[in-house]
A and B are shown apart, each in its own frame.
Chain A
Amino acid sequence: MDRWGKKGRIAGVSLAILMLSSTASPAHASRGYSSSSAALASPPAATDQNIPAPPAAPLTVAGMVFRMDPETPRLEVLTGVGLALRVLRIRCDESTLIQEAGKQVRLASLKRGDPVRVTCRPSVEGYVAIRIEVLPRPRAEGETP
């Protein structure tokens, strides 16, 4: 006995084709999620058990200018992952390269809240900045700076 009938069969096959087409979309790069790894969009890890870093390896972090003192000269960057946040204290010296939109700027021009990417090297006195890059940020139409 044909329990479905012709219409039922057509509906079933059509539904199946529809479902197939709805899941057959191209898979390009996402906003950073990867199924096979954590693929965090956060700064490179300071420590990774798979790639043990030597003590003197440079550290790169992205974060926000939290405090800045051009006299000392020192920079404190608020960084972290998710809601796990920390403040990284970094010393600058005459060789520290500070850039915004490709142009060299002075430490004193940085403001609290500026998003930055900092590459620094560990020293006996703490981290020393090698390069500080002020990051651009996309804005919504009408969004105030």
Chain B
Amino acid sequence: MKLGSRARAALLTSAAVLTLWACEKPPAPGESLRGLTAQERQRFAAGRKLFAQEFTPETGLGPLFNEVSCAECHEDPDLGGNGDEVEVHATRFLSDGFCDPLAELGGPVYQQQVTPALHDALGIDLEPLPEEATARGMRSSPDLFGFGLLDAVPDSALLAMADPEDRNHDGISGRPNRFVDGRIGRFGRKAFVPTLSEFNAGAFPNEQGVTTPEFPDEGTVGGTPIPAGIDPLPEPEIDSRSLALVNDFVHFLAPPLPGKLTHSVRRGRSVFQAIGCTLCHVPSLKTGASPVRALAYQRVYAYTDLLLHDMGPDLADICLGLATPSEFRTEPLMGLGLSKTFLHDGRTSSLEDAVRAHGGEAQSTRDRFLSLTPSQRAALLEFLKSL
């Protein structure tokens, strides 16, 4: 049976529309995930504006703060990206292995700026570190692309990868960190915070001095109450609705698109696996159920296991939760090609130096990297830059 000309035209039009939709341009850095509903896209756009909003003392900034907006630290190459700001954390690691985050003394995040009113009252330019701190850690600002997908990976996936006693004798013994209430953590360089929403909710008071419904007090200056009248705005300084919109923006940021899979990149990927990098930098994780369809049951090529690993004494700084000073969460490598500095403190602009700095559990893999031929090493670095 032959199709009529109208039926053929309709079929061709449908196929064209579907093909165009299927070949939709992938999201650029700072754009939203594909597959969001119209309402979710609206919330992403509204959250994006709030993410870029600059606070002033009159709108809630400070009195202690690191920057005036979220975007100030997450701006490159677009909103939600990385930044060149480096902040200061400090904790106290006790001889019995307990980690005191110095919460009574202003920790663990020590703000590097103060409002003019606080400066005038106390004569300080930043929050001083307490004598009780046993270590100080510098923290660079990572990009947040694809973090909503990391948030949607079930705890069970992390627990399935954990091998704290190294029972499989591969030299790698990842373990999950725990938040103060015992839940499994995954966000932050020490994998302390369980969810992205909580990380964001904690970032407002810590980074901008903006109080939230979940954290409605301004804290202290190193344990000393903030002088009266310095920050007269009533708490909370941001409402639940605004916080939810910022959360949506961050959750819905698309993961970065990997670079072209050239012959050299493909070769580097093989080398990356062959020398053991993938034992911790697990290539992909699968998300679980989510009320957001675009986040549910997706594979995210993050190159992390979100677990803690001993990285050796040269990288060691603060403790946090169960993480000892030398333990760090496997850094997600997705978006590495967008970074200008590397490692948790941004200490180097050389990717090769960052690999060389790996110690502890990663030392044997690092040694295998050092024994690669120049072309193998170049291919591996090219692969990393493609992520």
Contacts and interface: CB of A to CB of B under 8 A. Distances in A.
Interface of A: 2, 4, 8-9, 12-13, 15-16, 18-19, 23-43, 45-50, 62-64, 78-87, 112-113, 115-117, 135-138, 140-144
B370 interface: no
Nearest to A12: B19
A4 B19 contact: yes
Contact of A138 (B21, B184, B217, B288): B184
Interface in B204-231: 205-206, 212-217, 219
Contacts of A29: 289, 291
Contacts of A143: 162, 164, 175-176
B182 to A, nearest CB: 3
Given A38-B240, A82-B206, A137 B213 contact: no
A130 to B, nearest CB: 18
Contacts of A62: 180-181
B7 to A, nearest CB: 14
Contact of A48 (B21, B219, B240, B248): B240
Nearest to A85: B103
B240 to A, nearest CB: 6
A64 B98 CA distance: 12
Contacts of B197: 32-33, 38-41
B202 A82 contact: yes
Contacts of A49: 213, 236, 239-240
Given A46-B216, A142-B163, A86 B175 contact: no
Given A16-B21, A33-B152, A45-B214, A82 B292 contact: no
Give 4 nearest A-B pairs by CB, closest first. Answer: A82-B202, A12-B19, A115-B182, A137-B182
Contacts of B159: 138, 140-141
Contacts, number: 224
Interface in B135-173: 148, 151-152, 154-155, 159, 162-165, 167
Say what secondary structure dominates the interface of chain A: loop
A81 B289 contact: no
Contacts of A26: 289, 296
B162 A140 contact: yes
B155 A80 contact: no
Contact of A38 (B39, B167, B247): B247
B181 A28 contact: no
A97 B154 CA distance: 33
A29 B217 CA distance: 31
Interface of B: 12, 15-16, 18-19, 21-23, 35, 39-40, 43, 89, 98, 101, 103-104, 107-109, 148, 151-152, 154-155, 159, 162-165, 167, 175-176, 178, 180-184, 187-188, 192-203, 205-206, 212-217, 219, 235-236, 239-240, 243-244, 247-248, 251, 288-297
A54 to B, nearest CB: 15
Contact of A113 (B98, B155, B219): B98
Given A16-B19, A33-B292, A83-B188, A115 B180 contact: yes
A38 B291 contact: no
A142 B217 CA distance: 40
A117 B109 CA distance: 24
A9 B18 CA distance: 9
B243 A137 contact: no
Given A4-B19, A16-B19, A27 B205 contact: no
B206 A83 contact: yes
B290 A30 contact: yes
A49 B237 CA distance: 10
A42 to B, nearest CB: 6
B152 A30 contact: yes
Contacts of A78: 101, 103, 180
A54 B197 CA distance: 27
